[in-house]
């Protein structure tokens, strides 16, 4: 059933009792599938969706140990943008931005893509010059970007405090008008619904326990619900990717780092843009529900616990309050932690592995959400055509052996610093 104002009205009159399920739950799994995707997060579900949409492949199964979108799709900044200096990072995220633009209509599911503008504050002239370099790279790559002076920042963000003698003064900002936020949970639901309507099977609460590998080639997966044959397998499981890859004797050059975020109590609109500020290593935006969403740097240690130290939250708040003094009049409503899988150059690992027909998509760290549709699109191409699309070439696992690193931040093999 297509979602529309009309169908909403029709269902309202019938007491909302006849909406179809977003996922057609397969009563029974088939003994085998052409493609099995491990991980029903945004990336896995987007890959499934585009396999059907772009390549007419629907003999696909998506498995998850928990619920759809329950990993980093449920815990992220919800920010989308493409303000990267390095071409590999820029091109993938900029392609994603182009897809985000019409994805709600494509999926017939309102993802609430809100291109409200992304503002990255520079705290010194040197930093601003670096932002100009980035803005120039974006424009050369076909994206819109500009530099805002202090007055322009204040016009766009009236709640900001740009006091001259602030501890971290603001000298200007990079502005990407197409940057903004997307309702993150809806991304998983929209892609799941789209994939499912094409006949793709999605099975929740079904952990993968092992891979069947026959003379260097993957032939199936073992799950809590039995053995499933597979032509190709994609591991797309964020923080769980290391353990899954280990089952196939592949060790991944990444670490799982604790990253926290928080929301204030919901208030009426007070911030219309997404603001990032390096002095706080922090970002802030206001959700449509009214909460101010903030996050900061990693906790600096590896953890799978999905909870972090309160000192980091306090630091994030203190730094945010420098820029937005109104925060002092608000209350912290909830803070939480996610697990970011961060490789040794801080960038993702996507592509083939040493095991034939076993593919990997992980290591997205902070950057996974914004890339979701582009990753799904490209991975579908990879799985369907057996050739690595140009957009994914730079992200191959081999780069750690060859040294062709994609280190956006220039930080090096210290995942907790990325």
Partner 1 sequence: MQKRRLASGGIIDRDEKLYFGFNGRQYEGYAGDSLASALLANDLSLIARSIRYHRPRGILSAGLEEPNALVNCADQHGVFVPNLKATEVKLTQGLEARSQNCWPDVTLDIGALLQRVSALLSAGFYYKTFMWPQQWWHRVYEKLIRRAAGQGRVSTGTDLKRYDRRNAHCDLLIIGSGPAGLGAALAAVAPATNAEISIMLLEQDHVAGGSTLWERCEIDAMPARQWREQALASLAQKPNIRIMCGTLAFGQYDHGQVRAIQRVAASVDSISWQIRAKRLLLATGATENPLVFPTNDRPGIMLASAVRHYIHRYAVVPGRRALLAITDADEAGLTHEALESAGIEIVATLQPGEHIVATYGLQHLSAVGVINKSGQGRRIRCDLLCVSAGWNPNAQLLAQLGAQLDFEPSTGSLLPPAQAGITLTSGACRGLSAMQDCMLDGRLQAQQAIAQIKQQTVADIELPEIVRCASVTSSKPVLSDVFHDGRGQAFVDLQNDVTRADLEQAVSEGYDHVELAKRYTTTGMGTDQGKTSWVNAIREMTRITGQESSMLGHTTFRPPCSPVSIGALVGADVNRHMAPLRQTPFHRDFADSACVFQTSGDWLYSRYFPLADESMEQAIRREVLAVRSTVGCVDMSTLGKIDIKGGDALEFLTRIYCNNLDGLEQGRLRYALMLREDGILFDDGTVSQLGPQHYLVTTTTANSAAVWRSMNKLAQLRWPSLDVQLTSVSDHWASLAIAGPKARALLAALNPDFDVEREHFPYASVRQGSLGGIDCRVFSVSFSGELSYEINVPAGFASALYQRVLEGGVEFGITPYGLEALDVLRIEKGHLSVGSEIDGRTTPADLGLGKLVSTRKAFIGSSLLQRPALQQAGRLQLVGLTATDGQSQIPPAAHICEQTWQPGQSLRSQGKMSAAVSSPTLGYSIALALLENGQQRWGEKLWAVSPLTRQSVEVVVGASCFIDPDGSRVRG
Query: How far apart are CB 29 and partner 1 at their closest, in Å?
Result: 17
Q: Which of positions 184-203 make contact with partner 1 (CB under 8 A)?
A: 185-186, 189-190
Q: How far apart are CA 194 and CA 106, in angstroms?
A: 9
Q: Which of 215, 251, 329, 387 binds partner 1 (CB under 8 A)?
A: 329
- Residue 397: burial class (beta carbons within 10 Å; 0-12, 13-18, 19+): buried
| CA distance linking residue 131 with residue 175, whole number of Å | 9
Residues 225-264 that bind partner 1 (CB under 8 A): 264
Which range binds partner 1 by CB under 8 A, 22-30, 46-54, 224-232, 380-388?
22-30
* 312: region left, alpha or beta (phi > 0 left; psi from -120 to 50 alpha): alpha
Residue 25 or 354: the one with the smaller Cβ distance to partner 1 is 25
State in angstroms the smallest separation of the CB of 294 from partner 1: 10
Return the residue of 344, 360, 371, 392 that touches partner 1, per CB under 8 A. Answer: 344
To the nearest whole angstrom, how small is the minimum distance from the Cβ of residue 235 to partner 1?
Answer: 22
Six-digit token string for 365: 């760290």
Q: Which candidate, 74, 107, 106, 99, places its Cα nearest to that of 375? A: 99
Question: Among residues 31 and 410, whose Cβ is nearest to partner 1?
Answer: 410
Residues numbered 117-176 forming contacts with partner 1, rule: CB under 8 A: 123-126, 129-130, 132-133, 135-137, 139-142, 145-147, 159, 163, 165-169
Q: Does residue 352 touch partner 1 according to CB under 8 A?
A: no
Please name which of 208, 163, 180 lies closest in space to residue 40, comparing C-alpha atoms.
Answer: 208
Number of residues that bind partner 1 (CB under 8 A): 118
> Could you say whether residue 325 binds partner 1 (CB under 8 A)?
yes
Near partner 1 by CB under 8 A: residue from 51, 244, 275, 327: 327
- Could you give the CA distance from residue 281 to residue 296 in angstroms, rounded to a whole number? 5
Q: Show the tokens assigned to 175.
A: 């502005």
Interface pick for partner 1 out of 281, 330, 352, 384 (rule CB under 8 A): 330
**Footprint of partner 1 on residues 204-223 (CB under 8 A)?**
204
Distance of closest approach, residue 216 Cβ to partner 1, in angstroms: 24
Joined tokens for residue 57 = 């492949």
Q: Does 16 bind partner 1 (CB under 8 A)?
A: yes
What minimum distance in Å lies between the beta carbon of 332 and partner 1?
5
10 near partner 1, judged by CB under 8 A? no
CA neighbor of 176 nearest in space, from 113, 103, 99, 94: 94
Give the span between the Cα atoms of 92 and 363, in whole angstroms. 15
CA distance 397 to 389: 15
* Residue 32 near partner 1 by CB under 8 A: no
Cα three-residue angle 20-24-29, rounded to 5 degrees: 165
- Is residue 5 part of the contact set for partner 1 (CB under 8 A)? yes
- Contact flags string 35-74 toward partner 1, x per CB under 8 A: -------------------------------xxx-x---x
CB 391 to partner 1: min, Å: 15
Contact (Cβ atoms closer than 8 angstroms) between residue 45 and residue 191 = yes
Give me the least distance between CB of 136 and partner 1, in Å please.
5
The footprint of partner 1 on residues 96-125 (CB under 8 A) is 101-102, 104-105, 108-110, 112-116, 123-125
Strand pairing report for 172-176 and 146-148: antiparallel
CA dist., res. 273 & res. 275, Å (int): 6
Q: Is 248 helix (H, G, I), strand (E, B) or coil?
A: coil
Q: Is 416 in the site for partner 1 (CB under 8 A)?
A: no
d(CA 301, CA 296): 14
Structure tokens at 139: 């424009």
Phi then psi dihedrals of residue 138, to 5 deg: -65, -45
CB closer to partner 1 out of 211 and 277: 277
């Amino acid at each position: 059933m297509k979602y529309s104002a009309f169908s909403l009205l029709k269902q309202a009159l019938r007491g909302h009792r006849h909406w179809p399920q977003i996922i057609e739950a397969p009563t029974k799994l088939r003994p085998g599938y052409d493609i099995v995707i491990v991980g029903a997060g945004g990336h896995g579900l987007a890959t499934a969706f585009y396999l059907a949409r772009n390549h007419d492949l629907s003999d696909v199964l998506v498995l998850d140990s928990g619920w759809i979108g329950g990993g980093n799709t449920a815990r992220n900044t919800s920010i989308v943008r493409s303000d990267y200096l390095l071409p590999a990072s820029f091109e993938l995220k900029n392609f994603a931005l182009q897809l985000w633009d019409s994805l709600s209509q494509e999926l017939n599911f309102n993802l609430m893509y809100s291109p409200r503008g992304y503002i990255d504050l520079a705290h010194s002239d040197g930093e601003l010059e670096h932002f100009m370099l980035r803005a120039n790279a974006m424009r050369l790559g076909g994206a819109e970007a500009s530099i805002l002076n202090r007055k322009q920042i204040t016009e766009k963000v009236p709640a900001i405090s740009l006091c001259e003698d602030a501890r971290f003064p603001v000298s200007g900002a990079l502005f990407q008008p197409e940057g903004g936020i997307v309702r993150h949970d809806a991304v998983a639901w929209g892609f799941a619904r789209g994939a499912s309507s094409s006949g793709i099977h999605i099975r929740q609460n079904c952990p993968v326990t092992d891979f069947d590998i026959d003379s260097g080639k993957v032939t199936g997966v073992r799950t809590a619900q039995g053995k499933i044959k597979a032509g190709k397998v994609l591991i797309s499981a964020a923080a769980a990717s290391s353990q899954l890859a280990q089952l196939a004797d592949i060790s991944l050059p990444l670490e799982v780092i604790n990253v926290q975020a928080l929301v204030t109590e919901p208030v009426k609109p007070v911030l219309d843009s997404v603001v990032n500020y390096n002095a706080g290593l922090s970002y802030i935006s206001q959700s449509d529900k009214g909460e101010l969403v903030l996050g900061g740097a990693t906790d600096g240690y590896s953890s799978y616990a999905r909870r972090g130290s309160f000192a980091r939250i306090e630091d994030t708040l203190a730094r945010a309050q420098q820029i937005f003094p109104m925060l002092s009049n608000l209350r912290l409503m909830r803070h939480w932690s996610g697990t970011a899988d961060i490789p040794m150059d801080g960038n993702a690992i996507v592509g083939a592995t040493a095991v034939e027909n076993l593919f990997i998509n992980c290591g997205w760290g902070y950057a996974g959400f914004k890339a979701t549709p582009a990753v799904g699109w490209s991975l579908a191409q990879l799985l369907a055509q057996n050739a690595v699309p140009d957009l994914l070439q730079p992200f191959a696992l081999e780069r750690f052996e060859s040294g062709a690193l994609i280190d956006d931040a220039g930080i090096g093999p210290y995942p907790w610093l990325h």
